[in-house]
Structure 1
Amino acid sequence: MISVVPKWSDLRLVGNSKVVKLTIFMPFVGYLILFNNEIINYFELSKSALGFDPSITESISFSRLYQLYFGLMIVGIASTLFSIFCPPIVKANNDEYSYYEKELFSMTTKRIAQISDSLAELVTEDKKSELKSLTDSYNSAFRDANQLKYSGNVTESEVQSVAEKYKKEAIADILKLEWSFRIESMPKLRTAIVMLYGAGFFILLYPSANVFFRVCSVVWGKF
């Protein structure tokens, strides 16, 4: 069954946005929106500057402030959850290929062991067996290359390059397995974040669209 919940790599497009990240600070700056006299005066001036009926602008001004505040708060909560729980390798890389390029040529035996130990505690038994097989392939790369030499398939000078090739293939498969697991981890949390983003953006966008159509109706009525 294919999951319809966006993966962490999909949520990254929103969660890593600099604009969306700023909503994390919304609880600390909320008073600037709700309790700032300058903003209230701005709305009072807007009524006169635009020449609209005060009864119309009065009904939309302050309720929009509250909607803006709560919309940003909800998006901020979603952004905070994303920032805390999104796997670091997803936050730090645009896609799996960026991750491969970054790790492939700087991988060490210690790093391989760290990845394997970390994943072994989380993945299913099938994936655990696959991970062990890949780790064994990495560790036995030089021995396997030597066996090819003894069978006459490679020369002495080619053993090292063949061993490196085997290691890189094993590393690529391990990284692929790790990336695949990380982007699909914590499905319930990903669902909650998607719902919060959806609710927050709806609250932010719906009033704007509503105001736009109401203002257009007023302007259109003057012609």
Structure 2
Amino acid sequence: MIGIDYWRTEWSTFHYNLGWSRWVRFLDGWIAKCAMAVPVVGYLVLFNDGVSQHISFNDLASEHQLSVLSLTASGRLKLIYFGLIILGSANILYRLRRPYIFRVGTDQFDYVERALVHFTVDNYIDLNGVIRHEGHRTLHGKYDDAEFDSFVDAATGRNNPDVGNWNLAKSKFEGLLRSILIETFFRNDVKHRLALTCFLLLAFCGYGLLLIPSFDLFVKVIRVTIRGVT
């Protein structure tokens, strides 16, 4: 029998890894992006009587017969409309609140690879300062301070301006830089979890409202098909 300790471990693992990057496609996929346009054109299109008649599926699903969910064509349109409104709202809030590191990359791999190309030594000095001030969150943040000082010396020629070489230092200390970037991505990815949870619940509601009419229509089509065969 599964005990309390098991569920505590599972919850701790889930909570530790709950980050924005795991839900990018869910909150910022193509459906959510398109849903942002619904408040502008949704009323004119979905609630237009002519449009409603054309997408009522009279022949395909026998719309004159109510389904198991008792939804009419108009009822399905309303669920779709409000589902898209809610989903679009979740997407807008996500874009306003998502971590700033997503401007560089929305997952760890993209962030690290792009940062290695575009970041300067000043960026790494700032990131190192934050890690050392706030403490590390992963094993990647436990790098040696002396190694970082050597990197800065090699990149800027702090002690000898004539020997400073940024490209050579970046190549030599690439492992250190990757550790700093991975630590930085993780610590920002797991910030503001309460906001992330609220946006996820909002998005789940939106997707749920979209699935209800789809399921309803699917059941009606199956029923009509079975009756037609028999």
Where on the TM-score scale, by shorter chain, does this alignment land: which range? 0.7 to 0.9
Q: Deviations over 1:188-221 (max 9, x none)?
A: 1111121112111111112211221123223323
**Gap change, CA 1:21 and 1:136, over 3 Å in 2:** farther
* Farther off after superposition, 88-97 or 15-24: 88-97
Larger helix percent? 1
The structure with the largest alpha-carbon Rg is 1
2:73 to 29, 36, 61: 61
Q: Secondary structure at the match of 1:54?
A: coil
- Kindly state the Cα deviation for residue 75 of structure 1 after the two structures are TM-superposed: 0.9
**Equivalent residue, structure 2, for 1:2:** 13
- Kindly state the Cα deviation for residue 32 of structure 1 after the two structures are TM-superposed: 2.6
Q: Distance in 2 between matches of 1:42 and 1:63?
A: 15
**Equivalent residue, structure 1, for 2:88:** 76
- Kindly state the Cα deviation for residue 85 of structure 1 after the two structures are TM-superposed: 1.4
**Equivalent residue, structure 2, for 1:52:** 62
Contact 2:63-2:72 within 8 A present in 1 as well: no
Q: Distance in 2 between matches of 1:7 and 1:62?
A: 38
Gaps of 5+ in 1: 145-156
1:139 aligns with 2:149: yes
State the number of aligned residues.
Answer: 204
- Kindly state the Cα deviation for residue 162 of structure 1 after the two structures are TM-superposed: 8.4
**Gap change, CA 1:86 and 1:136, over 3 Å in 2:** farther
Q: Distance in 2 between matches of 1:83 and 1:160?
A: 34
* Farther off after superposition, 178-187 or 54-63: 54-63
Q: Distance in 1 between matches of 2:34 and 2:62?
A: 33
Aligned ranges 1:37-48 → 2 under 5 Å: 37-43=49-55, 46-47=57-58
Contact 2:104-2:114 within 8 A present in 1 as well: no
**Equivalent residue, structure 2, for 1:85:** 97
Q: Distance in 2 between matches of 1:199 and 1:140?
A: 52
- Kindly state the Cα deviation for residue 136 of structure 1 after the two structures are TM-superposed: 6.1
**Partner AA of 1:206 in structure 2:** I
TM-score scaled by length of structure 1: 0.73
Gaps of 5+ in 2: 1-11, 155-162
1:193 aligns with 2:204: no
TM-score scaled by length of structure 2: 0.71
